[in-house]
A and B are shown apart, each in its own frame.
Chain A
Amino acid sequence: MALENIYDHGILHNTELTQRLLNEYQHNFPVTRTPYADIAKRLGVDEQTILDLLKELDKKNILSRVGPVFRPNRVGVSTLAAMAVPEHKLEKIADIISSYPAVNHNYEREHHFNLWFVVTAENKELLDKTLQDMQLETDIRIMSLPMEKDYHIDLGFPLKLLQGGRSHD
């Protein structure tokens, strides 16, 4: 898989370092007093290099954040919600939904149910209230599909850099 977008952004001064950082620290990030210095030591560079690279990835929107992914429903509750929105209203409705801090992912998908978003809350009562508020504000029914069982959750995935930044196959 390619990181060609990084080349497009022109930020990769050190492709090997970026690849190792992204691949080795989606998991097992050091929970130590000086995590960035510890990573730097492992990768054979200095702390400032790692901090600068992470800031760069953050600025380019490639890095969402450094931190925990909580197990679903262990900390708070969440649900996957879907709406069937008339095409001409989609952008407006999507903006309303995105404006709720309780929403983290909000995507248009190719389907009769064309707006899909994840709503989180501290407890079920607050979650239900948020869904109700959304329905009132948008006048569109929400289909709520809370997770019942998780077989596999985002464990990060392996990223490979293309040599020279482009695939030729």
Chain B
Amino acid sequence: MFEFTTTRHNLLVDPALHLWGWQVAVYLFLGGLVAGLMIISGVRLVVMRPKERHSLVCCTIGPLIGLVLLSLGMFALFLDLEDKPHVWRLYLTFQITSPMSWGSWILLLVYPALLANALAHLPEAIPALSRRFPVLVTWSDFILARTRLVLAIGFTNLVVGVGLGIYTGILLGTLGARPLWSSSLLGPLFLFSGLSTAAALLHGILVLTLPDEERPEFADFLLSTVARWSQSRPLDPRVVPTLARADNSFLTIELTLLGLFLIGLLTSTEAHQHAARLLLGGPYAATFWVFVVGLGITIPLLLQLLELRHTIRHSLVPAVLVLGGGLALRFVLVFAGQASHWVVALR
């Protein structure tokens, strides 16, 4: 029989590593989501080069929600720090070997990029606000009048969004001490998960604003509240199927990457195989299979397919499932990752 005892009992480390909790999982989810919103809006801006104001959800609500969600995410991250008053020390240096250092600087760039993006279409997003502050209309006009500026904003959002979406996966990937994370596919996986959650979110928002006959009941309740506040026009519903299709592409790629990620682990060393089995059949299997793969990817994929074939009406359900699945994916990876270990005895 193999027996292993240690006298060490350090907080957060023993008996199993548990130093990152919901704060980090929530940040990863929100960071990915915001990255997706940035990329989608960035692509939109680059491709469509809007000169006039459109009710493009991705270009109006998208960046605004992005700003809010990112702040929430960074707050969660801040909560995780053990020496909170000194968080500014991150910005006294740039450590090229540390993805966390890249990330802290990327996050600094995200704000101006998102802000500029949001300003471009703020009057469409919140007409009430722009009536109160006409300067917002001036700025929006200023931006939209300059194609090069629009392109620049679009590219910046696209590039910084990709950086934001991918760096957290790379960060985990550099922590070779946790076999579950040592895969170069984590970066792309997080990126596409971020994209799928962003597309799902936008899709869901649009569903909420569909014309009456096509809207689910509770959306009326939500919408009337929102409408009263913003006195906005309904957003362009033609975009709904586009987003559903986009979301399906992202979900398919995400599922593929997830599969490749697991195959990579299963064909690697014993430590990596054991790590993969934590998800496939071990303590995290229920969450993984039900919430990440089943409800988080497969079911919404099918539902959206049916929606696109007009078999069923567009509803909020796929959006909620995808968002839940994205969050579950982060939780599973953060927690299971800390449970995976090189040391035989701790497995």
Partners in one complex: no
Binding site for B on A (CB under 8 A): none
